[in-house]
Structure 1
């Protein structure tokens, strides 16, 4: 069975609606990155060094990241040699296969959230201002509530003007309670109140916002450490997830932000927002390969249900599905 048929079989287990969301959300990247790859494989008559050099440029242009691109090109060369591939069009399937392999790595990654059974789950959100952190919290609150879970929000960003009010707007929209204090309050005190409230109200999930300033890394680290300490003292083993929110449109800058937050706290997963707004969706692979942290959710649009769990197969199919369908016909 060809890789493409296996890919289709894998995503057929998920709903058509999810497949369509990934296709629509990745349209800009597909129109840029995937079409260039498609053009490349049809323009060349043989797979040679010039072919690989041009492919390298396309991948770097899609923000896959230089380190990841070099590894990918080396692996492609080995695979082409091993399979004795002469026709460049056959390389397209190998590229797709390797993109899935890069993301899955050794298979130890689990994209699913670490939700506690019959106990409170605490999820901490970190990231710089303007990446869509509060919107992500609101959309996840909507997702969990629609699944029948009792959700509370903690307004831990007491630093940014309007942050508490913004979270309250989402709370009202989704229909969940927001635990807050005044602007300038100690974020750790807010978290303490929120945990107590979540326990008293027998909540299933507590989603915690935090400040996103990076100007003083030392203060950021101390603040996050204190917040985590307070949560863990009240609920051993919590927070159960620390999700770093990154704006996909910032490209490699988002990767450097990610590394800073990784130094400040134990990030367990990435939420990549605004993936539909960039033609450089290769950042997904750069983050996975260079951060060694799974992308757990991606933002594929403005609607409430456009925050989707990340599936590498859906991602690759969203990029190359149309082209490979034509090739199979």
Structure 2
């Protein structure tokens, strides 16, 4: 029943998000035809020719008609075609989305264990030098913008000590192994910020749980501290951290635009910038919906994970 309720709520959320994305992109000034033509071409082209071109591209249809066609296409799995080249939007978005998901997945797989180990060490040394050092490093790591971190890594490991390439030479449709092997600095940039953020979240949760009454009773019962930390404190600390971690994981897929641009990584962020520049509304809508699906899906997984760890949530 819990899964059905959460699933139904997720579908309603996606419908509302699709509606918002459509109308948010529709109110933008101009259209793809304006961008594809120069100012001189626009000035010299007769109004009836411009009107005919807009009719051919479907830009003259009423907003409600375009909205219903947009929803109908989503229900049929059709994201539409680009306005100028008439290429399928799904073909344009698929590979960059795959690449961004791969970058986010590798980041989480590498960052989560490190962040967990750092958080546990800091929680056990609360108030001491190790905890203060970890907390300070986490604040610095999370506060520095990703483009600054990326440029520093390029300066150190691509210029001063030329170990890795400064930009990615792999193409969009290369195998993931080839693409990720060519992107060590991009992965390192996202990992640094991820460890700082996730480490702080897990550290705070562990410290709060370690100060709880049930942990004190476990200490008085003679249970070793490491056993309390691993078997009792950590599962309880993961409950409040799951939602924050899920949102962060979803943001990695669509929120690494700066990293992708700095390293020329062929992901969804770079494709979004190109689509906005060209006023390809259908591509922008597809990318925004993909980001929304990631957020809703990760939130759903976090809710189910919390329900599995916390019986009170299941009863509620």
Which of these two proteins has the greater Rg computed from alpha carbons?
2
**TM-score > 0.5, shorter chain as reference:** no
- Normalized per residue, the structure richer in strand is 1
For this structure pair, what is the TM-score category when the shorter chain's length is used for normalisation? Answer: under 0.3
TM-score between the two structures when normalised by the length of structure 1: 0.25
